[in-house]
Amino acid sequence: MAQPQNQDVAAAQNQGATAADRPPLRVGMIGYAFMGAAHTQGWLTAGRVFDLPRRPVLAALCGRDEAAVRRMADRHGWATTETDWRALVARDDIDLVDICTPGDSHAEIALAALAAGKHVLCEKPLANSVAEAEAMAAAADAAQQRGRVAMVGFNYRRLPAIALARRMITEGRLGTLRHVRLTYLQDWLVDPDFPLTWRLRREAAGSGALGDLGAHIIDLAQYLAGEPLAGVSGLTRTFVRERPLPGGPSADGGVGTVTVDDTALFTARFPSGAVASFEASRFAAGRKNSLRVELNGERGSLAFDLERLNELAYHDHTEPAAHAGFRRILVTEPDHPYLDAWWPPGHGLGYEHTFVHQVRDLIHALAEGRRPEPSFADGLQVQRVLAAVEESAEKDSVYTTVD
């Protein structure tokens, strides 16, 4: 798999041109909360750091609350606002639709945007069901034939340390993979009085920790291993089944039912014979955004911790045991992925830079007419794994009784 490079054919063609001379890419974004703010950071910054073949323009921001979306637009420099996503999609001055809404609206918006001839960036997970994701992937394939691209936003692929890990794996540094293990732990639901937000309702979110956090680590496992998962065995649990409604007391007593999982654990296998384990939880007290990855192969191992995101741990198992062991790679060198455009070695990057790199990669793919990664087909594959974990968990056949 090609690794991110700051200079490529499209950029070389634009050398000597100012940013203002380059064709604009007029972006319309739907959704403006946490993820909308993160995506906005990417659109604002990418062209100021990287040599891009097209110039991002913040053309329109869409949200249902007119006053709130206007405040967000004014703060970040979006030129205009809409309160109906259909109006945004129909506009002739929008080239790309960026979808940052809850999962229950991803399919409808993406299908409409692709049909209207727009490029699409859609947050993960791609959809709330396999059927929706299949329709989105098919529409993206058809749009590709018309010169339009679609990408799903698995931003953690864009961490320089993760991209470096992928490079090292493809170079054969680990040899044949044996084990892949990933955890993604948060603690924002430990308090039983935390309100029943949309993320805790299946009709809006699709699933709980499984789709919210598990989707990320499923994508990372498949990206790093270079192959799709072939089978899973899963377990999910909901620890707090009722929570206060966000609006306070109501006729039903002021509480609502949690209809998604609080945690998901599953094992998996790859076609190559490698095995994997996954844990996703929003009930891990003390863990704010703890994503950890480890891969073990016949020739060595790699380990990554999001809380130390500028570092990659590497063990070369071919070295003599007398001085072998994990060593730290500080991923800040200019020949590391993405970093030739940033700061001098030793000056680290942060979470927000993944969205800058996401924009960078999407614009290059769009300008070159090639399918971006991760594609809607990649998002569909993740959706199929999520569905398989849920199916396994519903069968409750994970355990053999111990007598």
SS in 3 state form for the chain?
CCCCCCCCHHHHHCCCCCHHHCCEEEEEEECCCHHHHHHHHHHHHHHHHCCCCCEEEEEEEECCCHHHHHHHHHHHCCCEEECCHHHHHHCCCCCEEEECCCHHHHHHHHHHHHHCCCEEEEECCCCCCHHHHHHHHHHHHHHHHCCCCEEEECHHHHCHHHHHHHHHHHCCCCCCEEEEEEEEECCCCCCCCCCCCHHHCHHHHCCCHHHHHHHHHHHHHHHHHCCCCCEEEEEEECCCCEEECCCCCCCCCCEEECCCCCEEEEEEECCCCCEEEEEEECCCCCCCCEEEEEEEECCEEEEEEHHHCCEEEEEECCCCCCCCCCEEEECCCCCCCCHHHCCCCCCCCCCCHHHHHHHHHHHHHHHHCCCCCCEHHHHHHHHHHHHHHHHHHHHCCCCCCCC
Within this chain, domains 9-156 and 160-308+310-349+373-394 share the same CATH topology: no
pLDDT at residue 15 greater than cutoff 70:
no
* Residue 3 scores a pLDDT above 50: no
* Whether pLDDT at 251 is above 60: no
Domain positions in the chain are 9-156, 160-308+310-349+373-394
Per DSSP, what are the bridge partners of residue 182?
278, 293
**Per-residue model confidence as pLDDT tens digits over 281-312:** 999 999 999 999 999 999 999 999 999 999 99
Q: What is the pLDDT of residue 263?
A: 98
Query: How far are the Cα atoms of 239, 256, 261 from residue 243, in angstroms, in the given order?
Result: 11, 6, 13
How many C-beta neighbours within 10 Å does residue 172 have?
Answer: 11
Per the CB < 8 A criterion, the answer to whether 116 and 374 are in contact is no
What is the model's pLDDT at position 4? 45
Mean pLDDT of 127-132: 98
Residue 218's pLDDT band (cuts 50, 70, 90): very high
Q: Per-residue pLDDT for 189 more than 90?
A: yes
d(CA 258, CA 297): 40
Closest CA to 371 of 138, 114, 151: 151
Q: CA 310, CA 355: separation in Å to the nearest integer?
A: 16
Q: What is the pTM of this model?
A: 0.93
Q: What is the mean pLDDT of the chain?
A: 93
Q: What is the pLDDT of residues 30-80, one digit of tens each?
A: 999 999 999 999 999 999 999 999 999 999 999 999 999 999 999 999 999
Cα separation, 65 vs 341, whole angstroms:
37
274 phi and psi angles, rounded to 5 deg: -65, 150
CA distances from 266 to 6, 102, 389 (A): 38, 25, 7
pLDDT confidence band for 249 (50 / 70 / 90): low
Over residues 348-365, mean pLDDT? 98
Nearest by Cα to 215 from 155, 171, 132, 142: 155
CATH number of 9-156: 3.40.50.720
Distances (CA, A) of 273 to 217, 228, 231, 247, 350: 19, 12, 11, 50, 35
Percent of the chain predicted with pLDDT > 70: 92
Q: How confident is the model at residue 229 (pLDDT cuts 50, 70, 90)?
A: very high
Q: What pLDDT is attached to residue 60? A: 98
The fold of the 160-308+310-349+373-394 domain, in CATH, is: Dihydrodipicolinate Reductase; domain 2 (3.30.360)
Residue 276, both tokens: 């994997």
Distance CA 295, CA 161 (A): 14
Pairwise CA distance, residues 377 & 142, whole Å: 12
pLDDT at 399 exceeding the cut of 60: no
The whole-number pLDDT of residue 402 equals 56
Radius of gyration of the chain from its Cα atoms, rounded to whole angstroms: 22
- Provide the pLDDT for residue 1: 40
Residue with tokens 């993760």: 162
